[in-house]
Amino acid sequence: MKRILVVIMVSALLMAPSFGAANPNGVGDGTFDAQCGGACHGDADMNRTSASTVTLEMASVVYEGLLTSVSVTVTDVQTTSSGMLGVFLLSDVSGSGDTPQDDGWTIVSNSEGGSQNYVEVVVPSGVMQHTVEWTLRAPAVGTYDLHASVHHGAEDGNGAPFFGVSAAPISVEVQPVPVDLPRLSDGFQPPVLRTLGEATTVRLTTTSVDDVQVEWRVAGGTVQSATATPDGDGAWTFDIPASLEPVVVEWRVHLEGDGPTQTTPWLALQSEASSFTVDETTAYVQSFAMLMAFMVAFMALQRRVPPPIDQPKILPFPDEVMG
């Protein structure tokens, strides 16, 4: 029994560094509260203040349930030698429950090809400004604030991480949708990821729309047009050509109807090679289960050595005794 306890304790100590290690090279894009601005890389209370300036830009009035965009611009960029910079879009900076989703916003996509409120970007050396854009679906009618923050290490990679937050939030008023406003339907969800070499057919579902014009571009490239085809009951389809290398393709649509023509924000579609992903927690559990199975099998094969049997004493012959 003591042997089993020792093996379990040693196994736990071997796995503990992986569970609790800091992540100086980033944690990857994800949905994180502002607290992760320090906790992802250590104790959040030990953060240093970043010299970077963080600002937000967004329309002051948006419509309930419709798409809108927000830009977060970081100037005087400070990063490690790798150029990695973490950027957050937040509904508050209290440190808990402060993602945009906590206020009712839905993140549809971001300019890095994902749909999370936290992204990690690599800023080339000497570049002092970087902008990340998010496309959001507006929450219920009301007034909301949005914040942004950054997180990065020092140039030499030493010391506590740096954390910076926008000086002031941006205030947004969400209004009811006008009855005849051409728009995408509330349930429309654009694709955000595709495999290299595969063309993408996008199916739009719309309300109060008579005609659709589509534009697309490789991020930062020339704007091109695509033909939208009616697909019945307010639906339209169009194709985005395949990508031969990992790039972000952006697209938007102009919606025409009885009301004022509406243009959606640029929506990002990431093209990447298919990859194999591993759930770390599952891997740890499976490894521990295999360890326990090995221990049980090893102990079952052990055979207890029987205690020595007393040999009968051999008495000498009488003549040997007499001699």
In a domain, 318, yes or no: no
Are 151 and 111 found together in one domain?
A: yes
Structure confidence at residue 5 (pLDDT): 59
In a domain, 20, yes or no: yes
In a domain, 55, yes or no: yes
Are 123 and 230 found together in one domain?
A: no
Question: In which band, very low, low, confident or very high, does the pLDDT at 89 lie, cut at 50, 70 and 90?
Answer: very high
Are 245 and 184 found together in one domain?
A: yes
Are 216 and 130 found together in one domain?
A: no
Are 191 and 143 found together in one domain?
A: no
Domain C-terminal end among 157, 176, 195: 176
Beta carbons within 10 angstroms of residue 282's beta carbon:
9
Are 21 and 114 found together in one domain?
A: yes
Which range of 89-93, 95-99, 282-286, 297-301 scores highest in mean pLDDT? It is 89-93
Residue count (the chain): 323
Which helix (H) or strand (E) covers residue 279, if one does?
A: none
Model confidence over 108-123: pLDDT tens digits? 999 888 889 999 999 8
The residues near 224 (Cβ < 8 Å, ≥ 6 apart) are 215, 216, 217
Q: CATH number for the domain including 263?
A: 2.60.40.10
Closest CA to 134 of 64, 241, 29: 29
Average pLDDT in the chain: 81
Query: Residue 127: helix, strand or coil by DSSP?
Result: coil
The answer to whether the pTM exceeds 0.75 is no
The arithmetic mean of pLDDT across residues 304-323, rounded, is: 55
Are 61 and 152 found together in one domain?
A: yes
In a domain, 233, yes or no: yes
**pLDDT surpassing 70 at residue 265:** yes
Structure confidence at residue 160 (pLDDT): 74
What CA–CA distances, in Å, run from 317 to 271, 310, 322?
98, 21, 9
Range of 8's domain?
Answer: 1-176
In a domain, 34, yes or no: yes
**pLDDT surpassing 80 at residue 319:** no
In a domain, 247, yes or no: yes
In a domain, 311, yes or no: no
Are 279 and 164 found together in one domain?
A: no
Structure confidence at residue 130 (pLDDT): 92
Query: What are residue 263's DSSP bridge partners?
Result: 254
Are 172 and 182 found together in one domain?
A: no
Burial of 234 from C-beta contacts in 10 A (0-12 / 13-18 / 19+): middle
Structure confidence at residue 246 (pLDDT): 87
Model confidence over 154-190: pLDDT tens digits? 776 677 788 889 988 999 999 999 989 999 998 898 9
- Asked if 86 and 149 touch (Cβ cutoff 8 Å), the reply is no
Least trusted range by pLDDT, from 55-59, 273-277, 295-299: 273-277
State residue 221 phi and psi, 5-degree precision. -100, -165
What token pair was written down for 183?
A: 């728009």
The total number of structural domains in the chain stands at 2
